[in-house]
């Protein structure tokens, strides 16, 4: 039987000390790593480095609202825990609740989903949309960085060898917007990888102009796509059919899908057009989806703080 | 006491063991000091093997190849044809072709060694699609035209009818690869016994096939090999012949090492390197009169057979026999071509060639109606075949055809007639309907001429009765069905009937568990044996009765010309599917699925219901999400997360209906149904989707991105063909 050297720290400090001394792979839920490193049936997965299991570090399993009103999620929180916790922003809960299969959601963590740095990852879309940051800890201290900067490109992170992702801090939620949109086109209706997912949010000013608009797309390029320049096209203005088309055209220039490009581009265009044109009519329901009969259209579950 | 009507559901005999984990699958058998095997396979689709570079093998590890086949042994697997090699010699024809086995005691060590094996090839240009195969890309490698097998059927006078037709239209319908995704992957084990005998344990449908297929490797008689079926977690045709591809090399390895050798595939390996459903292309040429009625139809049926023929000619035959679907056309011709390509050989898969041509005819009929502005259902109604109607092989339909009654059930349950008018075409909602059948058991008189199925019943002192036959339980419910038939005839509780997984040395050969024949044919053998046993049951302590299949007189079949009564009992089906399309994303939401089936009399209503649900879902997956691309000979989707089998969330609860139409020669009136229930749902789904988006769809699978492409670039559903 092949041996894998494993560290199992019981506190975060212990984990950071190990990380500072040993070049090791942190493993939380294992739902990506155990698959990536598996060999054939009945064999121990093959890791070329030691593994540090951080699954049960209590410091990484908390969800709370900090003094600035931001939602803080421990990097070891599972998708199920996030999906079920109404402190977490709506977009993120939607993404967490539709990630993979139930068993996977019970083990996969938000820290792992970010660290996997896959353009098809479920949580980065909402995290980009809401300007979320990661907290990176080491024996030498802490620093914070936007998730969108931290994920440099496909499978590449701005992570130093002695650092661990310890928290995800989300400054915005659906409370900051008038209308919200999240739609995942999966490979199937459940237990699915994203073919494309679009997250959107909009807030209007008193005079009816757009105070804020955001859109992020998953599985449309080498990493999750979002562009403040594109959003600025419509911010400060009243929604018009021409402006919507300008946003669509500009966002089309941001995304770079390789597989099924026609589908991914057209679905993106249609979902942006749908959201902005419906939001412009100021409907009663806060949640806007791809069409009226769609089952999730309505009001989001109220946040508890 | 026994229930009055046999249809009343009983608890499945295998339910508890499979639920609580006590059922023993092939990996669960502990053989102690056993060796493990890993396959060394071709990594290129076509070429010559120049050199096999092995690492230095430690003691106890060995490489097994064709060179280890003893003198007199033959390097092939007997799977109807005998062209599929057990081990590649100097050429390879597909990615995944077995070159050898690496065998040794430690699995990890074996894996490390396997990673160091390198095979040098001289690569040749490969043909992987039907078109490339027909065009002999890279040069023909089967005959001089890459056609493995061919047949032609004709009814009436098609040439004369075409000459008189007011209009002739042409259309091509295509279907893709499909992987079985049985829950349990393939696995087998070979144990050398005394006196040059062997015991094979395998997850398999047809233990007698294995024995016959692999015995020539060692030039021994099949009786020297005992095959024991282990609990089998699903098969769908994927374990009809394919286990031979594991068992053959294992037998040679056991012969060489003198030790027990075991091999279990992991999921990726099983998806990437196993047989699939044949991709198909059907080219229709249809002659219409001035009123749009069909006066003649010609179809060319192409199946992608892959590198070796194996069982594919029989698959192609069934495909051609079913290309007229549930219709009778006065003048008709079909020509079938089994095309050689450099893909993994295609083999049996639920439906065995019939689903491809049934999808083609149903879709073509819809398009013929739509282009004339006619309702597809009304158009199809004109051609429904009836009892006595002439089939594609110039035989007659023997039984009563209850399509009108089944259609009534489905129309009522689905509210089809209101919806078809209300939804129109291109308005985001659609309802579709399909008609299909499946000839039960082996074609023609094959059951008597080829299989000669036998079955024994043995009564013991304590009153228990054992069924001895080769039929297998693979999840379909046969461990319940057969004892239920015996118990019902003998009027004893089902618990008093024993029916174990077959062991070829203990049971007579009752033929394969395939072709929707087990209930219909072997069920009847058991019914007859139990009837013979009944008057003696109370009088004699221990005795045995045996029955053998006898074909009813008066229904001739000529296997050399494919003329006559191809099937005495068909299962029949009607299926309606309703969908809604997301206008932004092209996602299809299925709102309803309703079906009615004629499977004669039901032996167990719950088991049949389960087969309907599963078969329809599997057909819907084939038609929608189950994309399996072959890129340069390699399957691209090789895991459960990339090969998209639908979940219960993807399709709603089904409305399931039956008609009662007892089959004269079946046990308690039962007919075959395991494959029938797969055959029609894809066509109904595609009919519904194409109506919802208003575009013509001519190929499957049709995943979301393809629906979007049709929405953007597709031809209007009403456009002339």
**Strands (DSSP E) along B68-216, which ranges?**
91-92, 98-104, 118-123, 147-155, 167-175, 187-192, 198-202
Residue B11, by phi and psi: left (phi above 0), alpha (psi -120 to 50) or beta?
A: beta
| Residue B467 burial by Cβ neighbours in a 10 Å radius (0-12, 13-18, 19+) | buried
Residue among B311, B364, B299, B361 at smallest CA distance from B336: B299
Closest partner CB to A43 (pick from B108, B582, B647) = B108
Percentage of residues of chain B with pLDDT beyond 70: 100
Q: Is B136 on the interface with A (CB under 8 A)?
A: no
pLDDT at B2 over 90: no
Residue among A216, A55, A198 at smallest CA distance from A151: A216
| Rounded Cα gap, residues A259 and A119, in angstroms | 12
Domain ranges of chain A: 6-170, 177-279
For residues B429 and B418, the answer to whether their CB atoms sit within 8 Å is no
Q: Cα distance from A37 to chain B (closest Cα, Å)?
A: 14
pLDDT at A273 over 60: yes
Percentage of residues of chain B with pLDDT beyond 90: 98
Backbone φ and ψ for B233, nearest 5 degrees, come out as -90, 65
Residue among B356, B213, B705, B208 at smallest CA distance from A263: B705
Tell me what pLDDT residue B581 has: 97
CB pair distance less than 8 Å for A271 and B269? no
Element (H, E) at B47: strand B47-53
pLDDT digits (tens, 9 = 90+) for A174-229: 999 999 999 999 999 999 999 999 999 999 999 999 999 999 999 999 999 999 99
Tell me what pLDDT residue A303 has: 75
| Residue A299 burial by Cβ neighbours in a 10 Å radius (0-12, 13-18, 19+) | exposed
Element (H, E) at A52: strand A51-53
Q: Which residues of chain A lie closer than 8 angstroms to B111, CB-CB?
A: 39-40, 43
Mutation pick from A97, A191, A198 vs chain B, by most beta carbons of B within 10 Å, is: A191
Closest partner CB to B585 (pick from A42, A191, A271) = A271
Q: Cα distance from B128 to chain A (closest Cα, Å)?
A: 21
pLDDT at B221 over 80: yes
pLDDT at A42 over 90: no
Q: Could you tell me the pLDDT band of residue A302, with boundaries at 50, 70 and 90?
A: confident
| Rounded Cα gap, residues A26 and B402, in angstroms | 64
Residue with the larger pLDDT of the pair B182 and B449: B182
What are the counts of helices (DSSP H) followed by strands (DSSP E) for chain B?
18, 27
Q: Could you tell me the pLDDT band of residue B570, with boundaries at 50, 70 and 90?
A: very high
Q: Which residues are within 8 A (CB) of A102 and not within 5 positions of it... i.e. 6 or more apart?
A: A80
CB pair distance less than 8 Å for A195 and B708? no
Mutation pick from A102, A103, A266, A271 vs chain B, by most beta carbons of B within 10 Å, is: A266
CB pair distance less than 8 Å for A267 and B584? yes
A246's tokens: 């300008």
Tell me what pLDDT residue A301 has: 79
Tell me what pLDDT residue A297 has: 55
Q: Mean of the pLDDT values across residues B306-330?
A: 98
Helix axes B681-693, B354-371, angle to 10 degrees: 30
pLDDT at B1 over 50: no
Tell me what pLDDT residue B4 has: 77
In CATH, what is the architecture of A6-170? 2-Layer Sandwich (3.30)
Q: Mean of the pLDDT values across residues B464-474?
A: 98
CB pair distance less than 8 Å for A43 and B582? no
| Rounded Cα gap, residues A31 and A103, in angstroms | 9
pLDDT at B124 over 90: yes
CB pair distance less than 8 Å for A185 and B111? no
pLDDT at B321 over 50: yes
Q: Interface pTM (ipTM) of the complex?
A: 0.96
Which CATH topology does B31-124+184-272 take? Aldehyde Oxidoreductase; domain 3 (3.90.1170)
Grouping H, G, I as helix, E, B as strand and the rest as coil, residue B558 is strand
| Residue B507 burial by Cβ neighbours in a 10 Å radius (0-12, 13-18, 19+) | buried
Backbone φ and ψ for B57, nearest 5 degrees, come out as -90, 125
Element (H, E) at B547: strand B543-548
Residue A248: count of CB within 10 angstroms of its CB: 20
Strands B187-192 and B198-202: antiparallel
Q: Could you tell me the pLDDT band of residue A3, with boundaries at 50, 70 and 90?
A: confident
Tell me what pLDDT residue A1 has: 58
DSSP string, B74-88: -S---BSBS-S-SS-
Which ranges in chain A belong to alpha helices (H)? Answer: 12-21, 33-36, 79-84, 90-97, 102-107, 110-115, 124-129, 147-150, 228-232, 241-254, 261-279
Q: Cα distance from A171 to chain B (closest Cα, Å)?
A: 30
pLDDT at B3 over 60: no
Q: Mean of the pLDDT values across residues B342-365?
A: 98
The secondary structure of residue B450, as a DSSP letter, is: I
In CATH, what is the architecture of B15-23+446-548? 2-Layer Sandwich (3.30)
Q: Mean of the pLDDT values across residues A122-148?
A: 98
Residues of A with CB under 8 A from a CB of B: 1-2, 39-44, 183, 185, 187-193, 195-196, 260, 262-264, 266-267, 270-271, 274, 290-291, 293-294
What are the counts of helices (DSSP H) followed by strands (DSSP E) for chain A?
11, 14
Q: Which residues are within 8 A (CB) of B163 and not within 5 positions of it... i.e. 6 or more apart?
A: none
One CATH from 1.10.3210.10, 3.40.605.10, 3.30.390.50, 3.40.50.2300 for A177-279? 3.30.390.50
One CATH from 3.30.365.10, 3.20.20.70, 1.10.150.530, 3.20.20.60 for B280-443+563-713? 3.30.365.10
Q: Could you tell me the pLDDT band of residue A295, with boundaries at 50, 70 and 90?
A: low
Same CATH topology for B15-23+446-548 and B280-443+563-713: the answer is yes
Q: Is B183 on the interface with A (CB under 8 A)?
A: no
Per the DSSP assignment, residues forming a β-bridge with B437 are B572
């Amino acid at each position: 039987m092949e041996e894998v050297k494993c560290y199992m720290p019981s506190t975060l400090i212990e984990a950071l000390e190990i990380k500072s001394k040993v070049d090791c792979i942190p493993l939380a839920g294992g739902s990506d790593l155990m698959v990536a490193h598996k060999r054939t049936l009945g064999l121990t997965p093959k890791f070329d480095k030691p593994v540090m299991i951080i699954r049960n570090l209590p410091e990484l399993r908390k969800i709370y609202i900090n003094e600035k009103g931001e939602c803080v999620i421990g990097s070891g929180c599972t998708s199920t825990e996030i999906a079920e916790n109404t402190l977490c922003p709506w977009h993120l809960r939607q993404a967490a609740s539709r990630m993979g299969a139930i068993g996977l959601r019970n083990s996969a963590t938000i820290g792992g989903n970010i660290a996997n740095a896959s353009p098809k990852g479920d949580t980065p879309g909402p995290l980009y949309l809401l300007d979320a940051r990661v907290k990176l800890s080491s024996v030498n201290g802490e620093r914070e960085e936007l998730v969108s900067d931290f994920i440099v490109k496909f499978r590449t992170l701005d992570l130093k060898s002695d650092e661990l992702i310890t928290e995800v801090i989300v400054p915005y939620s659906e409370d900051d917007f008038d209308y919200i949109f999240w739609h995942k086109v999966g490979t199937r209706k459940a237990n699915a990888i994203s073919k494309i997912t679009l997250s959107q949010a909009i807030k209007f000013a008193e005079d009816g102009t757009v105070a804020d608009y955001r859109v992020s797309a998953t599985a449309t390029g080498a990493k999750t796509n979002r562009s403040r320049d594109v959003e600025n096209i419509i911010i400060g203005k009243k929604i018009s059919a021409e402006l919507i088309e300008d946003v669509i055209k500009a966002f089309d220039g941001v995304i770079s899908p390789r597989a099924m490009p026609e589908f991914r581009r057209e679905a993106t265009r249609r979902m942006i057009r749908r959201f902005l044109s419906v939001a412009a009519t100021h409907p009663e329901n806060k949640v806007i989806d791809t069409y009226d009969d769609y089952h999730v259209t309505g009001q989001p579950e109220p946040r508890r703080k | 006491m026994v229930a009055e009507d046999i249809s009343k559901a009983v608890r499945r005999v295998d339910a508890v063991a499979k639920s609580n984990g006590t059922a023993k699958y092939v990996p669960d058998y502990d053989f102690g000091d056993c060796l493990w095997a890993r396959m060394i396979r071709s990594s290129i689709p076509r070429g010559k093997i120049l050199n096999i570079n092995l690492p230095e093998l430690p003691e106890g590890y060995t490489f097994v190849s064709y060179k280890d086949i003893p003198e007199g042994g033959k390097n092939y697997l007997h799977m109807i044809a005998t062209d599929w090699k057990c081990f590649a010699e100097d050429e390879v024809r597909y990615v995944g072709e077995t070159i050898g086995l690496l065998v040794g005691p430690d699995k990890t060590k074996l894996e490390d060694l396997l990673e160091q094996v390198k095979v040098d090839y001289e690569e040749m240009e490969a043909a992987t699609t039907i078109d490339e195969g027909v065009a002999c890309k890279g040069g023909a490698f089967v005959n001089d035209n890459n056609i493995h097998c061919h047949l032609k059927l004709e009814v009436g006078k098609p040439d004369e009818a075409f000459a008189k037709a007011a209009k002739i239209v042409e259309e091509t319908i295509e279907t893709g690869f499909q992987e079985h995704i049985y829950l349990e992957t393939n696995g087998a084990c070979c144990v050398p016994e005394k006196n040059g005998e062997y015991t094979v344990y395998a997850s398999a449908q047809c233990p007698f096939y294995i024995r016959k297929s692999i015995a020539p490797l060692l030039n021994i008689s099949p009786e020297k090999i005992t095959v024991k079926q282990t609990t089998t977690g699903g098969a769908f045709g994927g374990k009809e012949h394919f286990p031979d591809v594991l068992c053959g090399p294992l037998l040679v390895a056991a012969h060489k090492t003198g030790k027990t050798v075991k091999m279990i595939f992991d999921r990726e390996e099983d998806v990437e390197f196993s047989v699939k459903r044949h991709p198909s292309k059907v080219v229709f040429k249809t002659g219409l009169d001035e009123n749009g009625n069909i006066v003649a139809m010609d179809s060319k049926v192409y199946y992608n057979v892959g590198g070796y023929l194996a069982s594919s000619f029989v698959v192609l035959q069934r495909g051609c026999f079913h290309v007229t679907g549930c219709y009778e056309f006065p003048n008709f011709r079909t020509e079938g071509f089994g095309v050689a390509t450099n893909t993994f050989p295609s083999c049996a898969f639920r439906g065995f060639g019939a689903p491809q041509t049934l999808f083609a005819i149903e879709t073509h009929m819809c398009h013929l109606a739509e282009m004339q502005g006619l309702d597809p259902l009304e158009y199809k109604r004109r051609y429904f075949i009836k009892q006595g109607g002439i089939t594609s092989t110039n035989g007659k339909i023997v039984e009563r055809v209850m399509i009108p009654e089944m259609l009534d059930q489905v129309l009522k349950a689905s509210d089809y007639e209101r919806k078809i008018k209300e939804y129109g075409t291109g308005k985001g909602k659609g309802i579709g309907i399909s008609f299909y059948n499946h000839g039960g058991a082996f074609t023609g008189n094959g059951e008597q001429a080829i299989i000669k199925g036998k079955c024994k019943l043995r009564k013991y002192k304590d009153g228990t009765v054992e069924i001895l036959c080769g039929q297998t339980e693979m999840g379909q419910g046969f461990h319940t069905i057969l004892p239920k038939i015996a118990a019902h005839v003998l009027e004893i509780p089902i618990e008093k009937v024993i029916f174990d997984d077959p062991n070829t040395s203990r049971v007579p050969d009752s033929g394969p568990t395939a072709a929707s024949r087990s209930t219909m044919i072997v069920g009847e053998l058991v019914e007859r044996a139990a009837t013979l046993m009944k008057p003696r049951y109370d009088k004699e302590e221990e005795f045995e009765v045996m029955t053998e299949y006898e074909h009813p007189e008066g229904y001739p079949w000529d296997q050399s010309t494919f003329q006559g009564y191809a099937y005495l009992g068909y299962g029949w089906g009607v299926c309606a599917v309703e969908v809604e399309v997301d206008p932004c994303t092209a996602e299809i939401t299925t709102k309803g699925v309703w079906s009615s089936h004629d499977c004669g009399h039901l032996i167990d209503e719950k088991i049949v219901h389960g087969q309907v649900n599963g078969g329809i879902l599997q057909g819907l997956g084939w038609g929608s999400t189950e994309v399996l691309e072959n890129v340069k000979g390699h399957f691209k989707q090789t895991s459960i997360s990339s090969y998209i089998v639908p979940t219960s969330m993807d399709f709603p609860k089904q409305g399931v209906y039956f008609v009662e139409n007892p089959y004269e020669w079946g046990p308690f009136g039962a007919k075959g149904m395991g494959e029938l229930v797969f055959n029609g749902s894809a066509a109904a789904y595609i009919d519904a989707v194409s109506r919802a988006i208003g575009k013509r769809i001519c190929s499957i699978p049709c995943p979301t991105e393809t629906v979007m492409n049709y929405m953007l670039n597709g031809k209007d559903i009403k456009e002339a063909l």
